Structure 1
């Protein structure tokens, strides 16, 4: 058995995708919950930055909705693109005072998270995801002979892998 065959048998790629999805989504789900549970304080803090309540509600919805979609692996590509764009906007709008080491760190962190999200959007959620489970369920309900495509193809299908 070659090393590549051994890794494929362990589903290491899918385990790494699951771990990466969970780690990437944690910050968004946590922050969305914090903003939602401390809405009045968040509203005051956002108002000081010139952000009104409607945008705060949209931010909470994006962080919770897309964060959970990435974590659970349902429409994870869409959630990852949304969160990646959110990180780019956050970095360019709120963390541009590079004289402050803290602001520079937040800018770089947002860029790094955006990069991870865009990579996730390209690779898909992998075998250990609700997309995959729902696809199997729909296929089993349709019967053996029915042709039903998975909700999101497995990353090894098609041309989703990057040349190395």
Structure 2
């Protein structure tokens, strides 16, 4: 598929649906990519990464928690399942990373990483407020739960009607 064809399909999606939902999906995927990539990289190079983190004062339990957060919350944001929670977790993670590891502002590289972490944190907090949008598992789960609630209410109403209409031992079929 060519870039032009991809752009045409995205445009069709945006016009057929709400452009804001397509934009939220693209934003979620772009924001989650860095965490998923980093989490997979740390997990696949576990021993070396654990040693490097230990040199920075990060113990093994915190290192494992970091991998779990990056993968779990990264998937949460990407799929749109518990998006707000995942976004808040990753936003706080970025703030912590910026303030704990990137404060040597004499280094242009460290300053850039500090600013990048702050920008990603801001994006995550905006996502936490906006929510995942229509193209998300959050929406599918909410729709499923709403339908279950309606089904339970209907069954309760039918049972109540049946009880009101019963004549002695004879009951009307439901």
Aligned to 1:152: none
CA contact (8 A) 1:32 1:63 kept: yes
What secondary structure, in the 3-state scheme, does the structure 2 residue paired with 1:74 have? coil
Aligned to 1:162: none
1:1-33 deviations in Å (ceiling 9; x for gaps): xxxxxx786310100000000000000011001
Aligned to 1:54: 61
Greater percentage in helix? 2
Higher Rg of the two aligned structures: 2
Matches within 5 A, 1:68-87: 68-87=75-94
| In structure 1, distance between residues paired with 2:128 and 2:77 | 10
Runs of 5+ unmatched residues, structure 1: 1-6, 148-164
Q: What displacement does 1:143 show?
A: 4.5
User: Normalising by structure 1, what TM-score?
Assistant: 0.80
Q: What displacement does 1:34 show?
A: 0.6
> Relative to structure 1, is the Cα distance of residues 146 and 12 closer, same or farther in structure 2, using a 3 angstrom cutoff?
farther
CA contact (8 A) 1:139 1:146 kept: no
Corresponding residue to 2:136 among 129, 132, 135: 129
Q: What displacement does 1:133 show?
A: 1.0
Aligned to 1:101: 108
1:39-95 deviations in Å (ceiling 9; x for gaps): 001111001101111000000010001110000001100000000000000000000
| In structure 2, distance between residues paired with 1:118 and 1:94 | 21
What secondary structure, in the 3-state scheme, does the structure 2 residue paired with 1:113 have? helix
What secondary structure, in the 3-state scheme, does the structure 2 residue paired with 1:59 have? helix
Corresponding residue to 1:44 among 44, 51, 57: 51
Q: What value does the CA root-mean-square deviation take over the aligned residues?
A: 1.9
Q: What displacement does 1:141 show?
A: 4.3
User: Normalising by structure 2, what TM-score?
Assistant: 0.76
Aligned residues: 141
